[in-house]
């Protein structure tokens, strides 16, 4: 077996892919950080030529195509934890339940006190379901993941399409919630921290809890696929599987870009946007992941992008700090740039912040084994007597 390059016991290519996923997620999230994105029709709200072009690129190539990578990597890490526990003859449930409970705590704090778009709470919740599902054979994981994801997705898209045909005005395509836009701007652009907290809390009660529920259909299947890939040793056997990975990558890239471009070829009707996001997003994600996994087999690529893998290695710290930094830049209790930057500028800010995070991770890991939030997570899991070796803990 040809094993992928590792740093210590970590799989470096896995950390590299996670680093790129964090950059993509941040670029997509930046739309929410600097504008009332939850409540707008983006295709009419962003009206300048620069914004229209920038949004189209992000909408096709970034949005909904990087969080699936992160979810699958989360599942990959969960299975690594499970297999490690089996190998040393211990039960994985108590330790993993504790890790997931702490992660859920991080998510709640993040959602309520920093940014309502948190995903950690949902990941942790789905992780508790995976405590049982992780034991399933590879074939079962594949079919359950496909059934749980595709059947509700096709039913929902079909229902939306049918409703639109019966009454084109019923779904109010292009609807803009003016009242919520004004409330968001008041709270985030001009409000104190307390005012922003109140609005963020109400926002999370609606969108955060709804996403946690929908996670069973949208996130859990992706985590299952990641666990399946871990059981197949995809990263560890990438060199010997490169032909199959390349084939899957080419097909997924072509299909993903086509599906995600579909609303621009047909119309921005709601059902087309659902097709774009729910079907095109994960397919393109698989294409991106395949390309990066293959590139990680090249020594020059690993050398050049090793700092990105460091940011991926500190994924929890990187993710949380992105929210802390972005809300400080845009919200009224910080620099107050909410609603004042265009998409291109917001994207450049995201890339700039991530570049600084890459440098920070490189410097931090010269002295420490893990990021500060990773240390808190691990300390909370193991208590005072933490294992001296980091092992293959790459769950997030």
Tell me how far apart the alpha carbons of residues 213 and 222 are, in angstroms, rounded to a whole number. 15
80-112: per-residue pLDDT in tens? 999 999 999 888 899 999 999 999 999 999 999
Taking alpha carbons only, the member of 291, 266, 289, 288 closest to residue 276 is: 266
Mean confidence (pLDDT) of the chain: 92
Tell me how far apart the alpha carbons of residues 20 and 192 are, in angstroms, rounded to a whole number. 34
Strand 10-11 to 6-7 pairing: antiparallel
Provide the sign of the torsion angle of the four alpha carbons 220, 65, 253, 299, taken in this order: negative
**Nearest-5° Cα angle at 72, 70 to 74:** 70
Question: In which residue are the tokens 């690594």 written?
Answer: 80
Confidence of residue 386 (pLDDT cuts 50, 70, 90): low
Confidence of residue 394 (pLDDT cuts 50, 70, 90): low
Mean pLDDT in residue range 26-37: 97
Confidence of residue 171 (pLDDT cuts 50, 70, 90): low
pTM of the model: 0.93
CA distance to 35, 45, 110, 226, 319, per residue, from 29 (Å): 10, 17, 14, 22, 11
């Amino acid at each position: 077996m040809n094993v992928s390059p590792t740093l210590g016991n970590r799989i470096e290519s896995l950390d590299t892919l996670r680093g790129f996923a964090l950059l993509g997620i941040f670029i997509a999230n930046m739309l929410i950080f600097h504008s009332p994105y939850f409540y707008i029709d983006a295709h009419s709200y962003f009206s300048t030529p620069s914004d229209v072009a920038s949004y189209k690129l992000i909408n096709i190539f970034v949005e909904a195509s990087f969080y699936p990578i992160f979810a699958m990597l989360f599942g990959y890490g969960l299975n690594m934890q499970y297999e490690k526990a089996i190998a040393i003859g211990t039960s994985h449930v108590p330790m993993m339940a504790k890790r997931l409970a702490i992660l859920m705590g991080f998510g709640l704090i993040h959602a309520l006190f920093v940014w309502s778009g948190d995903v950690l709470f949902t990941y942790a919740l789905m992780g508790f379901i995976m405590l049982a599902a992780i034991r399933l054979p590879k074939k079962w994981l594949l079919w359950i993941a496909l059934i749980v994801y595709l059947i509700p997705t096709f039913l929902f898209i079909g229902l939306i399409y049918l409703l639109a045909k019966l009454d084109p005005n019923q779904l109010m395509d292009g609807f803009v919630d003016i009242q919520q836009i004004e409330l968001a701007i008041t709270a985030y652009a001009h409000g104190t921290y307390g005012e922003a907290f109140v609005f963020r809390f109400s926002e999370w009660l609606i969108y955060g809890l709804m996403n946690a529920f929908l996670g069973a259909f949208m996130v859990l299947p992706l985590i299952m696929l990641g666990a399946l890939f871990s059981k197949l040793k995809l990263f560890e056997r990438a060199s010997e599987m490169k032909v199959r990975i390349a084939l899957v990558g080419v097909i997924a890239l072509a299909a993903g870009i086509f599906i995600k471009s579909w609303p621009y070829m047909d119309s921005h009707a709601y059902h087309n946007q659902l097709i774009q996001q729910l079907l095109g997003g994960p397919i393109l994600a698989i294409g991106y992941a395949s390309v990066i996994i293959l590139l990680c087999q090249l020594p020059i690529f690993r050398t050049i992008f090793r700092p990105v893998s460091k940011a991926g290695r500190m994924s929890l710290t990187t993710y949380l700090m992105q929210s802390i930094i972005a809300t400080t830049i845009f919200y009224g209790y910080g620099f107050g740039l909410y609603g004042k930057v265009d998409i291109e500028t917001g994207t450049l800010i995201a890339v700039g912040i991530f570049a600084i995070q890459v440098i920070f991770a490189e410097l931090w890991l010269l002295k420490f084994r893990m990021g500060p939030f990773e240390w808190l997570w691990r300390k909370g899991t193991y208590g005072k007597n933490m294992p001296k070796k980091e092992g293959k803990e790459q769950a997030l």
